[in-house]
């Protein structure tokens, strides 16, 4: 994860040739103190990136975290304090806050799902439905919320989905081809019907993904797997329904919404004279 390069590109997008408003209104020698303030209960993530933003704008800007990655914060809590030149603080404020709001939002939503399945063996996982170029940060935020990241990219593991099956001809054929091509890789196989489970396991599947199964169907599917491989479920699972899938016996529950639909956390950045 190349945070400096990501920060450089974000600042280039936002600042361009310079911050006209700040240059016009704030004296160059003015010092200031800023605070990231939680306006809601949340799980903390992203302060490291925010610190990198301020350093990139002005090396004299220092962010001191008041909360750790993955920590819970109540509304009104200070997440971190920034001190240094006021001009740089104002110029970096929006980009830093965008990262913090986004990543705290992902971590907070993840924690809600994790809490919803507490006491079961199910682990909450993310998917590849991430914001382009922010995947590593969003997956780190999922971990901050107590989730378990799925594969980071197509080169990290094999996940045979419905389109692969159609092009290969069958679940069994797709699985055998994957096993033959990459003998040491984990091969997870998505099934859409109960009768595909035995075919996938017999061909060498190391994990079964139940896609868009009702929770009652998960119980039947897990009885057919008989503990031979882990079972993951996915597809339209929400906070009100996730507990039923966990109690059905799933080992992993993949939630695309953790990254594609997490609302930004309500965090403000307030600046005063030092």
- Name which of 151, 153, 131, 156 is nearest 46 in CA terms: 131
The angle, 0 to 180 degrees and rounded to 10, between the axes of the packed helices 3-15 and 86-116 is 120
pTM above 0.75, yes or no: yes
Q: Do 78 and 126 share a domain, yes or no?
A: no
The verdict on 202 and 132 lying in the same domain is yes
Total domains, the chain: 2
Say which CATH number the domain at 76 has.
3.90.1170.20
Read off the CATH number of the domain in which 215 is found: 3.20.20.70
Residues 170 and 86 in one domain: no
Residue 52 and residue 67 in one domain: yes
- Does residue 224 sit in the same domain as residue 161? yes
pLDDT by residue, tens only, the chain of 274 residues: 689 999 999 999 999 999 999 999 999 999 999 999 999 999 999 999 999 999 999 999 999 999 999 999 999 999 999 999 999 999 999 999 999 999 999 999 999 999 999 999 999 999 999 999 999 999 999 999 999 999 999 999 999 999 999 999 999 999 999 999 999 999 999 999 999 999 999 999 999 999 999 999 999 999 999 999 999 999 999 999 999 999 999 999 999 999 999 999 999 999 998 7
Kindly list the catalytic residues: 94, 129, 161, 190, 211
Which phi and psi angles does 47 have, rounded to 5°?
Answer: -65, -30
Residues 147 and 194 in one domain: yes
Residue of 50, 59, 68 whose CA lies nearest to 10 = 50
Predicted confidence at residue 117, as pLDDT, reads: 98
Q: Are residues 93 and 137 in the same domain?
A: no
Same domain, 109 and 157: no
Task: Give residue-wise pLDDT tens across range 140-162.
Answer: 999 999 999 999 999 999 999 99
229 HSE (CA, 13 A, CB side): 23
Asked whether residue 133 falls in the same domain as residue 98, the answer is no
DSSP per residue, 195-264: HHHHHHHHTT-SEEEEES--HHHHHHHHHHHTTSS-EEEESS--HHHHHHHHHTT-SEEE-THHHHSPPP
Identify the pLDDT of residue 2.
87
Structural domain including 105 reads 3-114+262-273
* Residues facing 43 on adjacent strands: 72
Predicted local distance difference test score (pLDDT) of residue 273? 83
């Amino acid at each position: 994860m190349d945070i400096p390069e990501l920060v450089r590109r974000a600042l280039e997008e936002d600042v361009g040739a310079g911050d006209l408003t700040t240059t016009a209104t704030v004296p160059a020698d003015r010092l200031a103190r800023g605070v990231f303030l939680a306006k809601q209960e949340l799980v903390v993530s992203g302060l490291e990136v925010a610190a990198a933003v301020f350093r990139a704008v002005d090396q004299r800007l220092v962010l001191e975290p008041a909360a750790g990655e993955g920590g819970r914060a109540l509304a009104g809590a200070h997440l971190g304090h920034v001190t240094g030149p006021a001009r740089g603080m104002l110029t970096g404020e929006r980009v830093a806050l965008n990262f913090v709001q986004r990543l705290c939002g992902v971590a907070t939503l993840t924690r809600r799902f994790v809490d919803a399945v507490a006491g079961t063996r199910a682990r909450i996982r993310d998917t590849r439905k991430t914001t382009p170029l922010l995947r590593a940060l969003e997956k780190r935020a999922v971990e901050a919320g107590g989730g378990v990241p799925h594969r980071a990219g197509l080169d990290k593991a094999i996940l045979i989905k419905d389109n692969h099956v159609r092009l290969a001809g069958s679940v069994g054929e797709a699985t055998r081809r994957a096993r033959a091509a990459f003998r040491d890789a984990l091969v997870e196989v998505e099934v859409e019907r109960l009768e595909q489970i035995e075919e996938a396991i017999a061909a060498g599947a190391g994990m079964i993904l139940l896609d868009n199964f009702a929770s009652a169907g998960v119980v039947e599917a897990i009885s057919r797997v008989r503990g031979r491989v882990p079972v993951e479920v996915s597809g339209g699972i929400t906070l009100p329904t996730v507990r039923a899938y966990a109690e059905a016996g799933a080992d992993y529950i993949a939630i695309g919404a953790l990254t594609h639909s997490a609302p930004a956390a309500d965090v403000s950045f307030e600046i005063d004279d030092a």
